[in-house]
Chain A
Amino acid sequence: MSVIVIAIASESGVPIFSRKRGNNENIQFSTIASLHGINMFSKCHNLSMVDTHVDSGTIIWKEYCKSVTLIGIATGGLECDLELLLSCVHDVMVFSVGKKELENIKNIDQLKRDLRQCYPILDYLLESLDPNVVSSPFPTLVLDLIQSILCPQAQQLQQALDIYAENVTGRWACLAIHGHLVATSSDFTELDPREARLMLLLAAAQDGAPLRDTPVYLPQMSPDVAFRAVTCKLLADVYVIVICGATPPLSQIDEIVLQCWESYAQIIKEAKLVYPRNFPMSITFESSVLGILLININKRRCVFSRHLHTLNQKSRSISGAHRMDILRTFYVTTARDLAPELKVKVHKSEEAGGSTVQDQEDCICETYWTSEYHKCHGQRSGNMLCCVLYASTVHIHTMRMITNQILQELNTNKEIYW
């Protein structure tokens, strides 16, 4: 597989950056120019290229803010929503330099330099699409969802986060373990899920620094005015991220962190144990269940788990990373149909015919795959969407029954706190 993202200044045609992942060669300057030329030419003729398919791949152009054109090229059987990827890339760009800067580019070299800081985040995004590195420590397996851990301690941690946020004069704070969202402050839901994911990506990209602040622009909430994102490493692989104003200074925050979090060390350690199972131990799964992807549609959060059974881990034939990839692919190609609200709306301007198709998708309530080596089943119940990976020996009706049970349990279990 390979994926390439190129950013070009629409007017001048100057390439801003190009990031790639996979085994393809670097894109040459002349190629970038030609690609941009195609877009410019068709624009002159009042025509816009929505997307272009090649054998097992796609090429798309997308212009943002009328100033930056992003070109995405995905090949080699990579199943991803390229349009979504480009809009994520654009979000990352806004996140680090602000919308104003992107809208009217004054000094393109300056912009290029400024955007260099978001390369790590972009690379994480691209890397997460690569099935070969699903096991990377900071995954964003599914572009449109925030990967989370469900732990019984979330509620207590929320209190701590609320206090912490208040002390640093911020509102939105969250706790991440191994790059997964564990707990949030009460106001955190005000943030757009995409902004929340950016915060996690930021923490991931700044791996290692114990305490750091970065100016960030929230693409939805405040694309023009920068906030301060403070990331703080509490324990190994445990970060707390808060978005706050210019004060208090970093040195003071250091003290506040100590105050607020010292007493929670034990709870955090307990919460950490939930990883990599990602579900509270009180929830058990049938032995035929090889992996699970649970999605909270409203909150755009998801929980992946492949370590469902503590015993006989090694006897499984499908490797863990592969299981994640199967579930991911199942979700991206198939199960997303169960939650039409997750789809990015495109071409809403025209196409009356398209609306009927949408209506029909609303009515899908279950979907499954049978492959030579495994089966996947996806079912939706209200706000929850559950994709389960089964051994190939499980029958379809058994599969439906088990998924249904899982959904019921997850909906009723007291230890689950999103």
Chain B
Amino acid sequence: MLHLYAQAVEGVINSSSVPEWDSDVGDDGELVYIKIKYNNNAIEDTNTPLLENCETFKLRNNFKRSSTRRSTKGRIFKVLKVHKAKNADNSGKKKPVPQSDSSKKLEDDKSIVIQVSKNMIFNSEKNCQIEKLFGLSLATHPNGKILVVEDFLIEAYAIYTPRIKKGYYLQKVNGIEVNPYNINNVLQRIAEDPYNPKLTFETPKDVVTVDLFKLLTSKDIDNSIIQLLRDSMCSVLYICCNDVEYHNNDDKGVLYCYPRPYNQNFLYNTRGAYVTLCHLAPKSLGTSEPTTSTVLHNEKLINVTYTSHYNDLLLIAFPNKQLDLFAARRVTIDVVRMLEFLYGSLKSCFTKPNNVDKLDGMFCRMFGVLLFSDSNRDVAGNIDISTSRIEDLLGAHAVTLPLDIRVQVDDAITELEAADYREWTDDVENFQRLYTVIGSCLYYSEHLLSSHLQDEDLKEINAFLKLNGVLKLSVDKELEKLVVWKEVFINEHRKFNNSDDNDSRIPDGRWFLLVVGKGHFILATLMEAGGCTEDAVGATPPSPFYVEECESCLALLYEVGLDKYLSLWFSANTQPQLETSPEYLTKYGRKMRDVNSLKSDTALKSSTLKLSKQTLGDVKKRHNSSEQINVASNSSDTNASNYGSHHNLYAQWYNGSQKQYRHSSNLDISYSEDSNSLKSNSEISDDRVQGRRADREQKNRRESSGSDSDWDRQEVNRMGSSIDMSDIRKSLLNEIDRVTTHRITAGDDNVLFHFVQFESAKGILIAPVKNIDIQANNALYSYIIKTFRTACKRIHDLLQHSIRFKANQTSTNPLNKILIAVKEYGMLFQAPVQLLNQCGVNKKNSETFQFWVVGRVFSEPEPKELYLCYHESIPQDLTEVAYLLSYLE
């Protein structure tokens, strides 16, 4: 029956019989199928990046906004991709570029010095300074911090080869360290300098990269990767501590150990200590069970996390260098979430027969994603601890898209979820549907665009996608096709099983997760079999029909040009706008900017650019704070009493020009009670259509499971989807031209560098796009962001006292009485002088550059944390910022 149905539907939808992923379906019905698009255009681009690169160097040094703006064309992404592809190419052809085949004397000294005659002037078609002087072309490393030799001009070939090869790093010129930020200045000096320039190159380290694609698709794991994990002290151990199994099991209760062999796994060898401690702490010391231990082994600090499940204990070890304690804790929570989601419980995960290979693969991917993915590396190939970014650790990273875009996205997903049955087959009566769609969520390049899932489901799906590297893959590669199908155990069902509460509405069925990807989009759909659908029996392979439904949903998004819009939007830095050139906020920088804005206003054509440029350029005077407070006291009364005015404000917000917005932001500088403004805010947002609220609506929908209402809704949906496609497309493309910028900080200058807003209950955090620091391409900005991320972890930890207290008043563990009251924590940082010098800010005036990192927790209506990084010059009220941010949301 089931089979018959599937075939019948296929017949209706698609005449081609077998889908391309069919042969990859496992015996248990699960499927991981990935096909990556190799973009020919991109490779062509690699051959002609010279001119563009040179130009960007120049622009960067003149503090021009336009350098970041230019990347509006989505070039950053493209360039990144190109480099990835290129690196892959290199490694494919002649494996390790450095050392091995270079002469032996180089081995002890990794830097090579080449002197280029001053008399030689290479003729560069691209009129590029580097090419003219040195006869070589450079590219920026994907991390944006080093210069990589990309090619040699034919005339210069003899000078460099065989000592220098493509892919080497240009480290110094005449002893001055060079990087993408200062290369232009250095070249300037070289040009004026009469002596022959000396170039110092460095051979790139032979870094092991983990190929996610391979890990995800292939069944057996490369031994070298396992060795790598072993060397870096990654480990997983699951121990069953009850007596019966302890004595029956050959390995003294160890049910799972990775990486193996057992005797080489340090966690296995020292498990006695953790198990004893885990028993001892609650029983004899009166504390809770241990959560983490930091241990020192072979001169390496390792964080071991404990998760106990009844009598069993799951231990996971991470090297502290790559994952600090903070990260280790969050990751462990995610791992447990994921395992429970996939297997129902930890116990069944590790006792399921013939599951070891799958677990091995999963943990290998997990460590690979966390520790060895490219984006975490710094110049030396070391993994930078602070890039275990707080945005990645806390929850699903969402972005604030404009409302109309969000409506479009939601509409597309809703259509999928509605699963309008009548459109698929004429014979409605004879075919029962296979699955009900419970909800779905859509990612673009690791960013959550929309989620129609219950909070817990979203957290679990996010953990699954993240730890398995699916999200990372969607950033690194352009997907031709990705299909993942897995049976899962949804949170509600697990809870239901545990609680024996009989009036649950959950049908006794089975659940499946279908992940479909295309381009940079990942669409995860949670489906239910049982209840009103046909029961799934035995191994259940994915239904080609539903896969295609999801694919068509993505296709719809492509059709309306969302992919193009998003790639633009992700590099546009608009909602809210961040100041990615912090130098502008210093006296010297301001001067520079004014000079530049005069130039660039005439030079640049793009309307979006102009808009922001003008608004930045024409304002020189800054409000002093007292003035603002005065305004506030007048307006705060009306704000608090009259919600109508808020609606007005809201209208202004979305339709109005920049000017109006600024006005409204000034109005909002009120030092009113927190609860007041928050209340009004939530009231407003309730009557707006919001994707985020959809999960709640989802719930309602379930509750009112009357049959006719279902049909009614379908009618409505159909109406919704019957809008002319071309209209939508037009509107989206128009959108690209008028990307309005928003600000959430007070004052005339934009002092906002970064922000993170985290709602722990929902597992969603809102922050600027992940690669904002690469986009900004600014040393000072990178420093600020790095500091921000480190500081956020500390602030987050401290604020947890308050959150935990509010969440659970009758905690058995007494909390620190003082810390539970802390709701805001700020730190003022000062950029180091040498960095300012490097950025050219601090030339004559010894001006300091200070910026705040502030975190605040809002407990009403649901706990929300806001972290803000802004320049010290204009004081900010976090309540206000949260309020303004909620409009964008």
* A interface residues, Cβ below 8 angstroms from B: 1-2, 4, 24-25, 27-28, 30-31, 34-35, 37-38, 41-42, 45-57, 59, 73, 75-79, 131, 325-326, 329-330, 333-334, 337, 347, 349-354, 356-357, 359-360, 362-374, 395-397
Q: B828 at interface (Cβ–Cβ under 8 A)?
A: yes
Q: Give min CB distance, A352 to chain B, whole Å.
A: 7
Of the stretches B294-302, B334-342, B470-478, B507-515, the one at the interface is B294-302
Question: 8 A-B Cβ contacts within 8 A?
Answer: A48-B296, A59-B287, A76-B814, A77-B815, A77-B819, A350-B301, A367-B825, A368-B826
In the complex, the answer to whether A59 meets B285 with C-beta atoms within 8 Å is yes
In the complex, the answer to whether A371 meets B823 with C-beta atoms within 8 Å is yes
Instruction: Collect the chain A residues with CB atoms within 8 Å of residue B815's CB.
Output: 56, 77
In the complex, the answer to whether B825 meets A54 with C-beta atoms within 8 Å is no
Q: B594 at interface (Cβ–Cβ under 8 A)?
A: no
A41-B272, A131-B817, A396-B875 known; A35 vs B830 contact (CB < 8 Å): no
A1-B814, A351-B301, A360-B790 known; A75 vs B286 contact (CB < 8 Å): yes
Interface residues of B in 472-523 (CB under 8 A from A): none
Residue with the highest number of chain A CB atoms closer than 10 Å, among B287, B798, B832 = B287
In the complex, the answer to whether B386 meets A351 with C-beta atoms within 8 Å is no
In the complex, the answer to whether B291 meets A53 with C-beta atoms within 8 Å is yes
Residue with the highest number of chain A CB atoms closer than 10 Å, among B281, B292, B801 = B281
Docked CA distance A30–B285 (Å): 11
- Partner of A45 from the list B266, B277, B814 (CB cut-off 8 Å) is B266
- Partner of B385 from the list A30, A75, A357 (CB cut-off 8 Å) is A357
- Partner of A49 from the list B293, B300, B824 (CB cut-off 8 Å) is B293
A367-B828, A397-B625 known; A372 vs B823 contact (CB < 8 Å): yes
Q: B100 at interface (Cβ–Cβ under 8 A)?
A: no
Q: B535 at interface (Cβ–Cβ under 8 A)?
A: no
Q: Give min CB distance, A238 to chain B, whole Å.
A: 32
Q: Give min CB distance, B751 to chain A, whole Å.
A: 14
Query: Which residue on B lies nearest to A372, using beta carbons?
Result: B821
Q: B850 at interface (Cβ–Cβ under 8 A)?
A: yes
- Partner of A369 from the list B297, B813, B822, B850 (CB cut-off 8 Å) is B822
- Partner of A50 from the list B272, B289, B294, B385 (CB cut-off 8 Å) is B294
Instruction: Collect the chain A residues with CB atoms within 8 Å of residue B385's CB.
Output: 353-354, 356-357
| Contact string against A for B residues 235-276, beta-carbon threshold 8 Å, 1 for contact and 0 otherwise | 000000000000000000000000000000010011011001
Docked CA distance A38–B276 (Å): 7
In the complex, the answer to whether B819 meets A79 with C-beta atoms within 8 Å is yes
- Partner of B321 from the list A50, A349, A353, A362 (CB cut-off 8 Å) is A353
Docked CA distance A199–B57 (Å): 63
Q: Give min CB distance, B847 to chain A, whole Å.
A: 14
A42-B270, A54-B288 known; A34 vs B300 contact (CB < 8 Å): no
Q: B384 at interface (Cβ–Cβ under 8 A)?
A: yes
A54-B287, A78-B816 known; A42 vs B787 contact (CB < 8 Å): no
In the complex, the answer to whether A77 meets B286 with C-beta atoms within 8 Å is no
Chain B interface, >50% SS class: mixed
Instruction: Collect the chain A residues with CB atoms within 8 Å of residue B875's CB.
Output: 396-397
Q: B840 at interface (Cβ–Cβ under 8 A)?
A: no
Docked CA distance A263–B485 (Å): 91
A38-B276, A57-B287, A329-B816 known; A50 vs B822 contact (CB < 8 Å): no
Instruction: Collect the chain B residues with CB atoms within 8 Å of residue A363's CB.
Output: 787, 829-832
Docked CA distance A131–B815 (Å): 13
Instruction: Collect the chain B residues with CB atoms within 8 Å of residue A41's CB.
Output: 270, 272-273, 276
In the complex, the answer to whether A333 meets B798 with C-beta atoms within 8 Å is yes
Instruction: Collect the chain B residues with CB atoms within 8 Å of residue A56's CB.
Output: 288, 813-816
| Contact string against A for B residues 828-842, beta-carbon threshold 8 Å, 1 for contact and 0 otherwise | 111110000000000
- Partner of A370 from the list B280, B386, B823 (CB cut-off 8 Å) is B823
Instruction: Collect the chain A residues with CB atoms within 8 Å of residue B320's CB.
Output: 351, 353
Q: Give min CB distance, A134 to chain B, whole Å.
A: 12
Instruction: Collect the chain A residues with CB atoms within 8 Å of residue B321's CB.
Output: 351-353
Query: Which residue on A lies nearest to B283, using beta carbons?
Result: A31
- Partner of A334 from the list B296, B299, B787, B798 (CB cut-off 8 Å) is B798
Q: Give min CB distance, B552 to chain A, whole Å.
A: 46
A55-B287, A73-B285 known; A367 vs B826 contact (CB < 8 Å): yes
In the complex, the answer to whether B296 meets A50 with C-beta atoms within 8 Å is yes
A24-B286, A41-B270, A53-B292 known; A79 vs B816 contact (CB < 8 Å): yes
Docked CA distance A45–B829 (Å): 42
Residue with the highest number of chain A CB atoms closer than 10 Å, among B273, B280, B824 = B273
| Contact string against A for B residues 623-643, beta-carbon threshold 8 Å, 1 for contact and 0 otherwise | 001000000000000000000
Q: Give min CB distance, A176 to chain B, whole Å.
A: 28
Instruction: Collect the chain B residues with CB atoms within 8 Å of residue A330's CB.
Output: 818
Instruction: Collect the chain B residues with CB atoms within 8 Å of residue A52's CB.
Output: 277, 290, 292-294
Docked CA distance A46–B298 (Å): 7
In the complex, the answer to whether B790 meets A357 with C-beta atoms within 8 Å is yes
Which 3 residue pairs are nearest across A and B when measured between Cβ atoms?
Answer: A77-B816, A370-B824, A55-B288
Q: Give min CB distance, A399 to chain B, whole Å.
A: 10
A51-B294, A353-B384 known; A73 vs B287 contact (CB < 8 Å): yes
Docked CA distance A78–B814 (Å): 9
Q: Give min CB distance, A286 to chain B, whole Å.
A: 18
Residue with the highest number of chain B CB atoms closer than 10 Å, among A25, A53, A368, A374 = A53
Docked CA distance A57–B790 (Å): 22
A53-B292, A334-B798, A347-B296 known; A360 vs B787 contact (CB < 8 Å): yes
In the complex, the answer to whether A365 meets B850 with C-beta atoms within 8 Å is yes
Docked CA distance A45–B830 (Å): 44
Instruction: Collect the chain B residues with CB atoms within 8 Å of residue A37's CB.
Output: 276
Docked CA distance A347–B303 (Å): 14
- Partner of B826 from the list A59, A73, A353, A396 (CB cut-off 8 Å) is A396
Q: Give min CB distance, A236 to chain B, whole Å.
A: 33
In the complex, the answer to whether A364 meets B293 with C-beta atoms within 8 Å is no
Instruction: Collect the chain A residues with CB atoms within 8 Å of residue B295's CB.
Output: 42, 47-50
Instruction: Collect the chain A residues with CB atoms within 8 Å of residue B813's CB.
Output: 55-57, 75-77
Q: Give min CB distance, B461 to chain A, whole Å.
A: 28
Instruction: Collect the chain A residues with CB atoms within 8 Å of residue B825's CB.
Output: 334, 367-370
| Contact string against A for B residues 364-399, beta-carbon threshold 8 Å, 1 for contact and 0 otherwise | 000000000000000000101110000000000000
Q: B284 at interface (Cβ–Cβ under 8 A)?
A: yes
Instruction: Collect the chain B residues with CB atoms within 8 Å of residue A360's CB.
Output: 786-787, 790, 829
| Contact string against A for B residues 671-682, beta-carbon threshold 8 Å, 1 for contact and 0 otherwise | 100000000000
In the complex, the answer to whether A57 meets B288 with C-beta atoms within 8 Å is yes
Docked CA distance A374–B819 (Å): 11
Query: Which residue on A lies nearest to B294, using beta carbons?
Result: A50
Docked CA distance A366–B826 (Å): 8
Instruction: Collect the chain A residues with CB atoms within 8 Å of residue B287's CB.
Output: 54-55, 57, 59, 73, 75
In the complex, the answer to whether A59 meets B296 with C-beta atoms within 8 Å is no
Q: Give min CB distance, A394 to chain B, whole Å.
A: 12
In the complex, the answer to whether B832 meets A347 with C-beta atoms within 8 Å is no
Query: Which residue on B lies nearest to A359, using beta carbons?
Result: B832
Interface residues of B in 724-774 (CB under 8 A from A): none
Q: B827 at interface (Cβ–Cβ under 8 A)?
A: yes
Docked CA distance A90–B90 (Å): 58
Q: Apart from A77-B816, A366-B828, what are 7 other A-B pairs with CB-CB below 8 Å? A: A2-B286, A25-B286, A41-B273, A48-B295, A52-B292, A347-B296, A357-B386
A53-B292, A75-B287 known; A350 vs B299 contact (CB < 8 Å): yes
- Partner of B382 from the list A25, A59, A352 (CB cut-off 8 Å) is A352
